[in-house]
């Protein structure tokens, strides 16, 4: 079984923001798998979850509702509830250091300054967690990064982000079916 955690902030005010591409990716994946989100059954941190099965592989799609900086609490609670170790967790989230619409898959590494991923690493006690990063680009020099990640995409970015979210969802399915290296080979080169 896998836990696929999409990082974001709960609430309609954040739905279309750059910081919520993790949630957007899980929504796309849930549609692809024909499942719906419900309140997660585990205790310890609020979250929405959807159970899915494809080609004999079970997965829980998880949207922590702890706000971004405490996402690890929900991931740890889900891992404990479902008996899943860090090797079976995939985290998808936004990345300022990637161009808008690019995705990068890594099997391990630091948080790269992303506080949601830092929370997951801290709570799980390891950097050995697969992650799918989706590029949201850097803000212009006059705009604060915190304001930028909570802003919506501009119209010309929307087609790029739609493609990136679709590719990220496909990459997650590839990771679960074929492994991280296969997904890296196929999806890290897409621009």
SS3 string, 76-134, reads HHHHHHHCCCHHHEEEEEEECCCCCCCEEEECCCCCCCCHHHHHHHHHHCCCCCEEEEE
Q: Please report, for residues 44, 62, 110, 149, 164, the alpha-carbon distance to residue 129 in angstroms, rounded to integers and kept in the order given.
A: 21, 15, 10, 23, 21
Q: Which of 18, 19, 76, 133 is catalytic?
A: 19
pTM: predicted TM-score of the whole model, two decimal places: 0.96
Q: What are phi and psi of 189, to 5 degrees?
A: -85, -15
Q: What class does CATH assign to 2-187?
A: alpha beta
Q: pLDDT by residue (tens digit) across 119-138?
A: 999 999 999 999 999 999 99
Distance (Å, rounded) from C-alpha 34 to C-alpha 8?
21
Mean pLDDT score across all residues of the chain:
95
- Is it the case that residue 191 has pLDDT exceeding 70? no
How long, in residues, is the chain?
Answer: 191
Q: pLDDT by residue (tens digit) across 148-185?
A: 999 999 999 999 999 999 999 999 999 999 999 999 99
Q: How confident is the model at residue 45 (pLDDT cuts 50, 70, 90)?
A: confident
- Is it the case that residue 190 has pLDDT exceeding 80? no
Q: pLDDT by residue (tens digit) across 6-40?
A: 999 999 999 999 999 999 999 999 999 999 999 99
Instruction: Give the single-character DSSP code of 55.
Output: T
Interior CA angle at 72 toward 66 and 74, to 5°? 55
Active site (annotated) includes residue 19: yes
Would you kindly state where each structural domain of the chain is located, as residue ranges? Answer: 2-187
Distance (Å, rounded) from C-alpha 86 to C-alpha 79?
8
- Look at residue 8 in the predicted model and tell me its pLDDT: 95
- Look at residue 43 in the predicted model and tell me its pLDDT: 85
- Give the count of beta carbons closer than 10 Å to the beta carbon of residue 143: 11
């Amino acid at each position: 079984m896998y836990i696929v955690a999409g990082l974001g902030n709960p609430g309609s005010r954040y739905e279309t923001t750059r910081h919520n591409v993790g949630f957007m990716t899980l929504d796309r994946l849930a549609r692809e798998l024909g499942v719906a989100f419900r309140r997660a059954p585990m205790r310890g941190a609020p979250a929405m979850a959807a159970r899915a099965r494809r080609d004999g592989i079970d997965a829980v799609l998880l949207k922590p509702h702890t706000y971004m900086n405490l996402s690890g609490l929900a991931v740890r609670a889900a891992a404990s509830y479902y008996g899943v170790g860090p090797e079976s967790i995939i985290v998808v989230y936004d990345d300022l250091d990637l161009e808008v619409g690019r995705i990068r898959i890594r099997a391990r590494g630091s948080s790269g300054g992303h506080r949601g991923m830092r929370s997951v690493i801290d709570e799980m006690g390891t950097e050995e967690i697969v992650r799918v990063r989706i590029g949201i680009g850097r803000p212009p020099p006059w705009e604060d990064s915190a304001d930028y990640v909570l802003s919506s995409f501009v119209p010309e970015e929307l087609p790029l982000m739609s493609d990136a979210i679709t590719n990220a969802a496909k990459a997650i399915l590839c990771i679960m079916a074929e492994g991280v290296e296969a997904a890296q080979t196929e999806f890290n080169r897409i621009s």
